[in-house]
Amino acid sequence: MSKKSQKPNRPKARRPRGFEDKSSDVIRAERRLIDAAFSVYDSHGFEPLQTPAFEYADVLGKFLPDEDRPNTGVFALRDDDEQWMSLRYDLTAPLARFVAENYDHLAKPYRRYQAGSVFRNEKPGPGRFREFVQCDADSVGAPGAAADAEMILLAADVMRAAGLSEGQYQVRVNNRKLLDGILENAGLPETDAGKIQKLQVLRAIDKLDRLGPEGVEALLGEGREDDSGAYTDGAKLDPAAIKAVLGFTVASDPDRGVTIANLEKLVGTSEHGMSGIKELSAIDGVLNALGTGHDRVAFDTSIVRGLGYYTGPVFEVELMADIKDRKGRPVRIGSIGGGGRYDDLVSRFRGQPVPATGFSFGVSRLLSALERLDALEAKTNPPVFISVFDKSLLGEYFKMAEDIRGAGLRAEVYVGTGNLTKQMKYADRRGVHVAVIMGEDEMQRGEVTVKDLFLGAEMAKAISSNEEWKSSRPAQQTVSRDNLIAAVKDILS
C-alpha cells in the first residue's frame, strides 16, 4: 500500500476579530495627531508618562476577579505567582495606580499625558474594536474648578491643534453633582441599591442622543426592549423622579449664564446640587476671562458620561460640522473625546481624598472625523527611488541616497533582486514619484538619469506605439550629478 504524501501542517494566517492591522498612512496620521495633542499638553506644563499594558486585575477596580477568572470586559491571565493580570481597559486606572505607588515622591498636582493602546474584551462590530489608542491628559492632586476649567480649555485647544476650525466642534460641560441633587430631591437612597440605580440613570441619560426622550424615559422606569428583542432592565424610578430627571436633561440654554439660572431653580436646597452650580459658575468665570465663547464651550445638562467614577464636572467634545458619507447622506459622529473630575479613583489605594481631573480622546475616532472633513494633513511622500543598475556601484547609490536625505527628502536604495524592469514595477507599487538611474557610463560622465514616474504614466496613456515610446523617452531627463537634488526637488514641486 503506497503512502500518501502528507501536506505540511501550516497555520492559517488570520487576524483575531476586533483587532486591526494598520497601514503606514494610518500610523503616520495617528502619530501626527498624537504629536499635535502632546504639543498642547506640553505647552500647558504637563509631563509624559508611559505605564505598562498589563496591570493586576484588582487595580483596574471595575473588573475584579471571581473564583475562576476576572469578570468579562478585560483580557486576563494568571501570572506565575497566581495573581490575575489584565490588559489595561483605559489609561486612567493605571495612572491612579502609579500615583498611589509613587505618591510621596511626586510634585502635586501631578500633571501627566500619555497615549497608548487600551483593550476591551467585548463583542466587536463595525467601528467597535477590542484594541484602540487613547490619548489622555490628567491632573492629580488638583482640587477646585480651576483645574476643571483648564482641562476643558485643554480639550478645546487639542481640537484646534488637530485641525478642526472654530464652529466645527464644541466642548459641552455638565456636573455630576447637579444630577445627584436632582436624585436627592427625588428621594433616591444613599445605599448600595441607590448607587446601582444612580448608575442606571447615568447610563440611560448617556443614551439620550441615540434613543431619544422616550427611550430614556423607558430606561429610567421599568426598562425597554430594543429592535433586536433584547431587553434592558430600567432604573425603576417613580414617575415624579423620571419627570425631574428628564426636566434636568433639557435645562440647557445656548447662554451659559442662563443655564446656571435654570439649574438653580431645579436643584432647590440640595447641597450636592448647589455645590455643582458653584463649580459651574467658577468654570464660567475662567472661560469668560479668556473670552471663550458659548459656541466653543457650552453647558449641556444632557452630558453625563457613562462611567461611574466621575464625581463632579464632566464634559464631552462634540463634532458640530456637517458631515456626509460618499452617497451624500448625513453622518453623525457625536462625541470625539471627553473627561471630567474623578476624586475617588486614587483614594481606592490610599484611603484618603486625592482629587483628580482629566481629558481623553480616541485617536481612531478623531482621525475618522478629520478625514471626513478633509482636515488631515497631506500624506507622507513616497521615497525617491534609486535603482541598482550596476551592483558594483552600490556605494555610489547609497551616497546619492544620503545626499537626498540630507536635503530633507526620503530616499530608498533598492535592496531586492531583479532587473531594471522588475525594480520599476516595485517602484510603481510603492507609489514612487521620482526614480534615479545611474550606470557605469553615466557615472564616468558625472551624470544621472531622473524619471518622473507620475508624468511618465500620464504621457504613456497618449502614446500608441512602442517605437513612439522609445523615441520620446517621456518624463525622463539626464542631469549632472551635482544637480541631482535640484532636479528631484523640481519634479516634486
pTM: 0.83
With a CB cutoff of 8 Å and minimum separation 6, the contacts of 370 are 33, 162, 163, 164, 376
- Tell me which architecture the domain covering 18-53+88-167+320-380 has in CATH: 2-Layer Sandwich (3.30)
Residue 64 has pLDDT above 50, yes or no: no
DSSP H or E run through 192: helix 192-205
Per-residue pLDDT band at 472 (split at 50, 70, 90): low
How far apart are alpha carbons 6 and 15 in whole angstroms?
A: 27
- Strand residues in 141-201 grouped as ranges (E): 169-175
Q: Rg of the chain over CA atoms, in angstroms? A: 30
Q: What is the pLDDT of residue 67?
A: 46
* pLDDT-wise least confident of 107-111, 194-198, 272-276, 397-401: 194-198
The four Cα atoms 376, 378, 381, 382 give a dihedral, to 10 degrees, of 50
Answer yes or no: are the C-beta atoms of 74 and 57 closer than 8 Å: yes
The span from the CA of 124 to the CA of 20, in Å, is 11
Residue 200, CB-side half-sphere exposure with 13 Å CA sphere: 22
Quote the cell numbers at residue 430: 510603492
DSSP per-residue string spanning 240-260: HHHHHHHHHHT---SSHHHHH
CA angle 349, 353, 357 (to 5 degrees): 90
Integer angstrom CA distances of residue 92 from 188, 311, 339 = 29, 14, 10
Element (H, E) at 476: strand 476-480
pLDDT of residue 66: 47
Q: Rounded mean pLDDT of the chain?
A: 88
Cα 337 from Cα 171, distance rounded (Å): 9
Distances (CA, A) of 79 to 55, 61, 90, 117: 11, 18, 21, 21
| Parallel, antiparallel or unpaired: strands 169-175 and 297-299 | parallel
Task: Report pLDDT digits (tens) over 209-247.
Answer: 888 888 888 888 888 888 878 888 888 888 888 888 888
Alpha-carbon span 299 to 305, nearest angstrom = 14
pLDDT digits (tens, 9 = 90+) for 128-142: 889 999 999 999 999
CATH numeric code, 384-492: 3.40.50.800
Cell numbers placing 43: 505647552
Q: What is the pLDDT of residues 374-419, one digit of tens each?
A: 777 777 889 999 999 999 999 999 999 999 999 999 999 999 999 9
pLDDT band, very low/low/confident/very high, at 483 (cuts 50, 70, 90) = very high
- DSSP state, 55? E
Give kind and range of the element (H or E) at residue 319.
Answer: strand 313-319
DSSP 128: B
Residue boundaries of the structural domains of the chain: 18-53+88-167+320-380, 169-296, 384-492
Confidence of residue 459 (pLDDT cuts 50, 70, 90): confident
Beta carbons within 8 Å of 379's beta carbon, 6+ residues apart: 25, 28
- CB–CB of 266/251 below 8 Å? yes
What is the tens place of the pLDDT at every residue in 118-131? 999 888 877 788 99
- E strand or H helix at 282: helix 271-289
CB 52 within 8 A of CB 79: no
